[in-house]
Amino acid sequence: MLRAIFSHPSGRIGGTIVVIYVVVALLGMFDVTPHSPLQQYRIDRLHAPNMIYWMGTDLFGRDVASRLMKGVGQSFFVGFCSVTLATFAGTVLGLTAAWFGKAWDGLVMRIMDVLLAFPAILLALLIIAIAGPGTWTSIAAIAIVYTPIFTRVVRGPALSIKAREFVDAARTFGSSRSYILTRHLLLNLVAPLTVQVTLALAWSLLTEAGLSFLGLGTQPPASSLGLMLADSRNLMETAPWLLIFPALAIMISILGFNLLGDALRDILDPRTRRSAA
């Protein structure tokens, strides 16, 4: 699999970006940063990038590179938690809807239709309006917005796999329901789920940055890429590094996940594989 990703042109670039992103995020999450992200070097306020402050300092004299690493860690944390939740909820709902059918399927899919009737960012804002801004609300909001998409991604293929002979055979042999659901259905859904997870991660990074930019996500003094961009608005002419580095970090990380998602789709989708061959 790894070899396939790295021999695909988009996969190679996307995969490399994602690996670097995850390393930076983990370093940021565990506070392995050049300076403390909250330490204020008052003499060096709004200092341009140099050997000590690689990406300069902000209005309070805090090191931008350290805050950026912390912010990448924060967005990774939000993205990882929300996408994990959405994948789990969507998979359980999609699988059970496909398996039990009838009223349960109808109920689940109508609820998902209702959730999909909202533009994504609006639904996230509605959830934040109820629960108040903050990191955990952002995670819940992004997870709820993405659950219907995972449910649909799982239910469709699960329905067609359920009708296949090997599932009938497993039933005849007396395999338990949970065994068939996890061993036969779920394993066959790994490919579409993997692609969706990668794309969902890209979207969650984008949404987390957007919500924090609006002041509804991560709250100061904690660091987040969206917050850094919001802070840069009034200072972008005097201290452009406050805008450029977080903007590049967001763009490159989303680009990485999108490229990796595209590559995975090419690799895992049998139709494109056949046409490529």
Partner 1 sequence: MSYLTRRLSTFPLVMLGVSVLVFVAIRMVPGDAITAMLGTEAGLLTPAQREALANYFGIDQPIAVQYWHWLLGVFRGDLGISVTYGKPVLGVILERFPLTLQLALMSMCVALLVGLPAGVFAATRNERMSDLGVRIFAMIGQSTPNFVVGLLIIYTLSAGFGILPTMGEFTPLLAHPLRNLGQMILPALTLGFAFAASVTRISRSAMLDVLSDDYVRTARSKGVPKRSVIWRHALPNALIPVVTLSGVEFGYLLGGAVLVEQIYALPGLGRLVLDAILQRDYALVQGCVLFIAFNFMVVNLIVDLVYVALDPRIRLGEGG
Site for partner 1, residues 205 to 224, rule: CB under 8 A: 206, 209-210, 213-216
User: How far apart are CB 105 and partner 1 at their closest, in Å?
Assistant: 14
- Tallying the residues shown for the chain, one arrives at 277
- Total number of residues binding partner 1 (CB under 8 A)? 39
Angle in degrees, CA 62, 66, 68, rounded to 5: 100
Site for partner 1 in 173-202 (CB under 8 A): 202
Q: Cis omega (within 30 of 0) on the bond before 240?
A: no
Residue pair 86/147 in contact (Cβ under 8 Å)? The answer is yes
Backbone angles phi, psi at 63, to 5 degrees: -70, 120
10 Å Cβ neighbour count for 191?
16
- We find the least distance from the C-beta atom of residue 127 to partner 1, in angstroms, to be 8
Distance of alpha carbon 265 from alpha carbon 252, whole angstroms: 20
From residue 120 to residue 149, the character string flagging contacts with partner 1 as x (rule: CB under 8 A) and all else as - is xxx--xxxxxx-------------------
Q: Does 243 bind partner 1 (CB under 8 A)?
A: yes
Selected range binding partner 1 among 42-50, 66-74, 114-122, 149-157, rule: CB under 8 A: 114-122
Min. distance of Cβ 96 from partner 1 in angstroms? 20
Q: How far is CA 160 from CA 98, 119, 156, 171, in A?
A: 9, 29, 7, 16
Pick from 5, 201, 254, 260: which binds partner 1 (CB under 8 A)?
254
For partner 1, the closer CB: 20 or 243: 243
Nearer to partner 1, 215 or 220 (CB): 215
Residue labelled with tokens 């909250």: 38
Residues 136, 221, 235, 225, CA torsion sign: negative
Q: Which is nearer to partner 1, 180 or 200 (CB)?
A: 200
- Of 166, 206, 211, residue with least CA distance to 187: 166
Query: Quick count: other Cβ atoms within 10 Å of Cβ 203?
Result: 21
In the complex with partner 1, the residue whose CB is nearer, 80 or 118, is 118
Select from 164, 171, 233, 273 the one that contacts partner 1 (CB under 8 A).
233
Q: Nearest distance from residue 168's CB to partner 1, in Å?
A: 26
Q: Write the DSSP string, 6-41.
A: HHSHHHHHHHHHHHHHHHHHHHHHTT--SS-TT---
Chosen residue from 178, 237, 271, 277 binding partner 1 by CB under 8 A: 237
The one among 29, 77, 118, 188 contacting partner 1 by CB under 8 A? 118
The DSSP output letter for 106 is: H
Q: Which of residues 36-75 bind partner 1 (CB under 8 A)?
A: none
The residues of the shown chain that bind partner 1, judged by CB under 8 A, are 110-111, 113-115, 117-122, 125-130, 202, 206, 209-210, 213-216, 229, 232-233, 236-237, 240, 243, 247, 250-251, 254-255, 258-259
